[in-house]
Amino acid sequence: MAEMTYREALNQALKEEMRRDQKIIVLGEEVAFYQGAYKVTQGLLAEFGDERVKDTPISEEIIIGAAIGAAMGGLRPVAEMMTVNFSLLAMDQIVSNAAKIHYMFGGQTKVPMVIRAAQGAGKQLGAQHSQHLEAYFFHCPGLRVIAPATPADAKGLLKAAIRDDNPVIFLEDQGLYTTKGEVPSGDYIIPLGKANIIKNGEDITIISYSKMVLDCIEASKELENYNINAEIIDLRCLNPLDKGTIFESVKKTGLAIVVNEAWMTGSAAAEISCLITENCFEYLDAPVERISALDVPMPYNRELEQAALPHKKNIVDAALKLLQVNQ
C-alpha cells in the first residue's frame, strides 16, 4: 500500500474508474483546465479529453440537471460542486429529480450519478462557505450519502459510489484533503453502508463520520489515561446507515456519544441518537450524548469560529461525565 493524501486518493479513484468504464464523465466548474478547486480532478483532462471532462457554466442547477439527463441516457456522471454550499442552488434538481426519478418512473430508469462536494468549517471562510449540509441530503429518501474520513475510505467509497446505480452525495471535508494514510492499490472497493470499527472497546461507544472521526481517535487516546477503553465507530455512510454495528456496540458498552461537526439541531447526530434510544434503551446506562457545532452562523473570526466547533476536549469531557470520572 502506498501512502498518499486524501486528495490524491480521490484522484486515483477517479482515474481508475474512468479507465475502467468509458461511460464515466466528470463535469463541474473548473474541473478541466483548472483541475478542480481542490485539485481532485488534476490530470483528468490531459488523460481523458474534453469529451469526458467538462468545464461547465457557473450554474449548479445546470450542472446537476445535465448530470441527471446524462445518467438517464446511459452515462455515469460525476458532478463536482465546488463547495457543498453551492448545492443549495441545485436542491430542486437533487431532491425533486435525482432522488425521485427511479421511483416516479416505476423503476424503468435509473440515475447512476455522483455529486462530489467539499464542505466543512475551520478555514475562516465565513458563514456562507463553512456549512455542513449532510442532514439535508440524509433527510431525503432516494439519495445515498457518503462522508469518508480517511484516504483509503475516500478511494474505496468513491469507486463504489461511481458503480452504484443510485444518485450519491459524496461529501469531502475540506480539512481532510491534505491528511495522509495508506491506500490499497488496484481495484479497492468498500461496500456502501458498512461502518468501520476503528478501535474496539468495552467502556463507551463513540460514533462519528468524516473529519470528526480523527478527533474521536485522539479523544480515545486521552481517555486511556483514565483507564477508559472507548470503542470508535466510523460510520463512513449515512445512507445506507449501518444500524446493526451501532446497536451491537451500544448494547455491549451501555454508553454512547454521537459526534458530528454540523449544527446540533436536526443533525445526523440527532437522528442516530434517537435510533439508539429507540432500539437500545434497555441497555443504556445513561442518556446518549450528542456533540455538535453550535447552532449559529459560522463566525469569520478565528477564535469565535473555533469556539463554535466541537473538538477533542468536548468528546473527552462527555465521556468522563457519562462514566462519572472526576478529572
Residues with catalytic roles: 60, 129
Beta bridge partners of 146: 170, 237
Question: What is the torsion angle, in degrees rounded to the nearest 10, for the CA atoms of residue 77, residue 120, residue 153 and residue 112?
Answer: -20
Beta bridge partners of 234: 196, 208
- Rounded Cα–Cα distance for residues 205 and 165 (Å): 33
Beta bridge partners of 26: 53, 78
